[in-house]
Amino acid sequence: MNPFDYFKFRYYEKWLGGISAYFIANGYITQAELDARTKAFLASSPTMPTGGDSAVDARVRKYLLIGDDPKRPRSAPPRFASGDAVCVANPKSVDHTRLPGHLRNKTGIIDSVYPDAYTYLCDTGPDGIGEAMPVYCVRFDPEALWPGNTEKNFTFYADLFEAYLEPAIAS
């Protein structure tokens, strides 16, 4: 997504744009059809078409009620334990990531290790996630993240995939 558009559009505008782009890219509808129909709905309130296979509704309901569980058994023991000092990696930026930019190259402490392992919705390539791996709750001193620019007396926690963490080098 164009970074300017990312900041311009509100959350649900992004949903609408993303869903529309998916159906256009995969050949279900065309941009011209969508534009023309949008004009029609702006000009009046056309009657909605009817019909469809109710099995679709059942599948949608099933998804919402059950979800899509990303938890998997671990293939190896977790690399870190509670109390370990870790340094956050700085991998190449890609479209999808679960690494907040403000944590890159920062040092934190493993607060807890979540049970089992977790997949991500896609393989993020050089970013490093996708396959099931341990996830950690990492504790940061906000003063180390934003020196001289934070409130006092609070702690910042982030849930991070193992691929984003390296052992902190003792100084």
Partner 1 sequence: MQRFEYSKDRETANAARARALEALLIEKGVITSDTVDKIMAIFATEMGPFNGAKLVAKAWVDPAFKQLLAEDTMAAVEKMNFVTKGAGAEGEHMRAAINTPEVHNLIICTLCSCYPWPVLGLPPYWYKDPSFRARAPESTQRIRPEHRPLQGDQNLGQ
Cα distances (Å, whole numbers) of residue 40 to 10, 32, 33, 45: 24, 12, 11, 8
Q: What is the 3-state secondary structure (H, E, C) of 48-109?
A: CCCCCCHHHHHHHHHHHHHCCCCEECCCCCCCCCCCCEEEECCCCCCCCCCCCHHHCCCEEE
CB of 27 to partner 1, least distance (A): 10
In this structure, are residues 161 and 143 in contact, taking their beta carbons and an 8 Å threshold? no
Subset of 81-110 contacting partner 1 (CB under 8 A): 97-100, 102
- Least CB distance to partner 1 at residue 87 (A): 19
User: Which residues 6+ apart lie within 8 Å of 79 measured at CB?
Assistant: 134, 162, 165
Nearest approach in angstroms of CB 8 to partner 1 is: 5
Residue 95 Cβ vs partner 1, minimum distance, rounded to whole Å: 11
Question: Which residues in the 14-73 window bind partner 1 by CB under 8 A?
Answer: 16, 19-20, 23, 28-29, 33-34, 37-42, 46, 48-54, 56-57, 60-61, 63-71
Q: Which stretch binds partner 1 (CB under 8 A): 73-81, 87-95, 138-146, 163-171?
A: 138-146
DSSP per residue over 110-150, as a string? Answer: EEEE-SSEE--SS--GGG--SS-B-EEEEEE-HHHHSTT-S
Contact stretch for partner 1 (CB under 8 A) within 1-9, 72-80, 86-94, 163-171: 1-9
* 119 touching partner 1, by CB under 8 A: no
Q: Which residues bind partner 1 (CB under 8 A)?
A: 4, 6-8, 10-13, 16, 19-20, 23, 28-29, 33-34, 37-42, 46, 48-54, 56-57, 60-61, 63-71, 97-100, 102, 118, 142, 145-146, 149-151, 154, 156
